[in-house]
C-alpha cells in the first residue's frame, strides 16, 4: 500500500522546506506528496515545487477545503493529512500500514510532541495524547490518516472554518476507534510560545467547549484568530 501525504499551506515559506526535505525518502519509495496552496503571497509554492509531486494552487482559503482538494486528487490508498509545521517520525509509513493491518482499526493518528523546551509543554503533550486516545477525537496536529475508500464513504472532511478535525473525528469514530500511534510527530510550539502557554490552553479548551455546546464554527473562528 502507498500513502498520499496532503499538506495544506498558506504563506509557509519559513517552514515548508524543513518540513518537505525529510519526506523525500518517502517519495523515492513511491509515496505521494501533495501541497495544496490557498493563495500564498510569499514564496511557498515556489519553494515547495521541487520537493513535492504536486503543488495545487487552485484551492480557496480554508484548511478543510484544501485537504479535500488534495484528497480528491490523490492517487494512493491511504491519505495522510499533515500540517506544514509538523514533522513525521522515521518509518512513519510502516507504522501506519502495519498498524492498520494488525490492529483492525480503520483510521488513526500519531501522538504529538511540541517542539519547545518549556516543561509545561510536556504536560500539554501528555494531556493532548491521553485525551485523544480516550475520546477517539484527533486534532490536525496529530497527522490524521484515513484509507481513501473510507474517506469517500464518509464524504470527505466537513468544510467548516474551524474544528474540521473534531468534526472529522466524530464521523470516523462511529465506524472505528482510532489507531493511536505512540511514536510522536513533532509539531511547532510557536503558537503556544507566542500567545502564552496557559492562555493558549484556556483558549483551546474554551473553543472546544463552545463547539460542543453548539456555537457555530464561523463564530468560533473570530475568537481563535
User: How many angstroms separate the CA atoms of 88 and 110, rounded?
Assistant: 9
Summarised one tens digit per residue, pLDDT across range 3-58 is 999 999 999 999 999 999 999 999 999 999 999 999 999 999 999 999 999 999 87
User: How many angstroms separate the CA atoms of 162 and 65, rounded?
Assistant: 11
Average pLDDT, the chain: 92
Could you give the domains of the chain?
3-189 (3.90.550.10)
User: How many angstroms separate the CA atoms of 139 and 128, rounded?
Assistant: 9
Q: Judge whether residue 225 has pLDDT over 70.
A: no
Place of cell 457555530: 216
Summarised one tens digit per residue, pLDDT across range 92-110 is 999 999 999 999 999 999 9
Q: What is the mean pLDDT of residues 158-178?
A: 93
pTM of structure: 0.93
User: How many angstroms separate the CA atoms of 4 and 11, rounded?
Assistant: 22
Model confidence band, residue 197 (pLDDT cutoffs 50, 70, 90): confident
Q: Determine if residue 77 is left, alpha or beta; phi over 0 gives left, psi from -120 to 50 gives alpha, anything else beta.
A: alpha
Amino acid at each position: 500500500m502507498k500513502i498520499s501525504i496532503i499538506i495544506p499551506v498558506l504563506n509557509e515559506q519559513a517552514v515548508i522546506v524543513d518540513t518537505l526535505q525529510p519526506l523525500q525518502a518517502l517519495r523515492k519509495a513511491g509515496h505521494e506528496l501533495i501541497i495544496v496552496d490557498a493563495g500564498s503571497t510569499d514564496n511557498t509554492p515556489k519553494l515547495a515545487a521541487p520537493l513535492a509531486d504536486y503543488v495545487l494552487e487552485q484551492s480557496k482559503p480554508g484548511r478543510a477545503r484544501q485537504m479535500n482538494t488534495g484528497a480528491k486528487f490523490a492517487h494512493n490508498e491511504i491519505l495522510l493529512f499533515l500540517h506544514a509545521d509538523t514533522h513525521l517520525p522515521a518509518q512513519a509509513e510502516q507504522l501506519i500500514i502495519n498498524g492498520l493491518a494488525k490492529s483492525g482499526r480503520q483510521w488513526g493518528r500519531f501522538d504529538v510532541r511540541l517542539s519547545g523546551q518549556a516543561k509545561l509543554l510536556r504536560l500539554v503533550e501528555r494531556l493532548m495524547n491521553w485525551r485523544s486516545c480516550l475520546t477517539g477525537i484527533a486534532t490536525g496536529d496529530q497527522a490524521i490518516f484515513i484509507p481513501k475508500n473510507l474517506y469517500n464513504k464518509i464524504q470527505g472532511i466537513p468544510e467548516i472554518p474551524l474544528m474540521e478535525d473534531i468534526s472529522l473525528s466524530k464521523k470516523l469514530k462511529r465506524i472505528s476507534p482510532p489507531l493511536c500511534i505512540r511514536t510522536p510527530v513533532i509539531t511547532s510550539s510557536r503558537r503556544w510560545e507566542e500567545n502564552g502557554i496557559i492562555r493558549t490552553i484556556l483558549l483551546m479548551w474554551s473553543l472546544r467547549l463552545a463547539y460542543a455546546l453548539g456555537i457555530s464554527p464561523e463564530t468560533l473562528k473570530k475568537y481563535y484568530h
